């Protein structure tokens, strides 16, 4: 299932807030509340020292009932040994990989038949 993906220009940080039910501010991109705490994805400011994640996002939306869209992206990354963190939206999935592995992730996705481009 080939997709046109773009590399999102922002870099992200993934935080685990074990004792929070809401983040302290509204500067988040995605959040999930679970029994073990809150997971928050934010754009990372340039001065913050943290593991940075870069996202791949589909150029074309797909229906929620279209099977295999996420698997088509994370499968080749898993086969290459690249970790992912995913934030799904109504239209597509933001598949994030560690910044240092973006070139390898892009190569694996292209080899799997996807088109990968930088955001304009």
Q: For domain 4-118, which CATH number applies: 3.40.980.10, 3.40.640.10, 3.30.2130.10, 3.30.70.260?
A: 3.30.2130.10
Q: Which residues contact 64 (CB under 8 A, 6 or more apart)?
A: 90
Strands 30-34 and 37-43: antiparallel
Angle, to 10 degrees, between the axis of helix 102-111 and the axis of helix 69-79?
A: 120
Write phi, then psi, for 87 (nearest 5 degrees): -120, 115
Q: Each residue's pLDDT tens digit in the chain (120 positions)?
A: 788 999 999 999 999 989 887 878 888 888 888 888 889 999 998 888 889 999 999 888 777 888 888 999 999 999 999 999 999 888 889 999 999 999 999 999 999 999 999 875
Backbone angles phi, psi at 108, to 5 degrees: -65, -40
Are the CB atoms for 24 and 64 separated by under 8 Å? no
Contacts 24+ apart (CB under 8 A), 42-49: 42/12, 42/13, 42/15, 43/10, 43/11, 43/12, 43/13, 44/11, 44/12, 44/13, 48/13
The backbone torsions φ and ψ at residue 41, rounded to the nearest 5 degrees and listed phi first, read -110, 125
pLDDT of residue 45: 84
């Amino acid at each position: 299932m080939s997709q046109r993906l773009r590399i999102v220009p922002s870099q992200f940080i993934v935080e685990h807030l074990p004792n929070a039910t809401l983040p302290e501010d509204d500067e988040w991109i995605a959040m999930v509340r679970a029994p073990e705490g809150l997971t928050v994805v934010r754009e990372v400011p340039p001065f913050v020292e943290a593991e940075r994640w870069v996202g791949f996002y589909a150029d074309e939306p797909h229906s929620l009932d279209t099977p295999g869209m996420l698997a088509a992206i994370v499968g080749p990354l898993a086969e290459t040994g690249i970790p992912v963190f995913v934030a799904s939206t109504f239209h597509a999935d933001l598949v994030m990989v560690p910044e240092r592995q973006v070139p390898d992730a892009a190569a694996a996705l292209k080899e799997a038949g996807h088109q990968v481009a930088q955001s304009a």
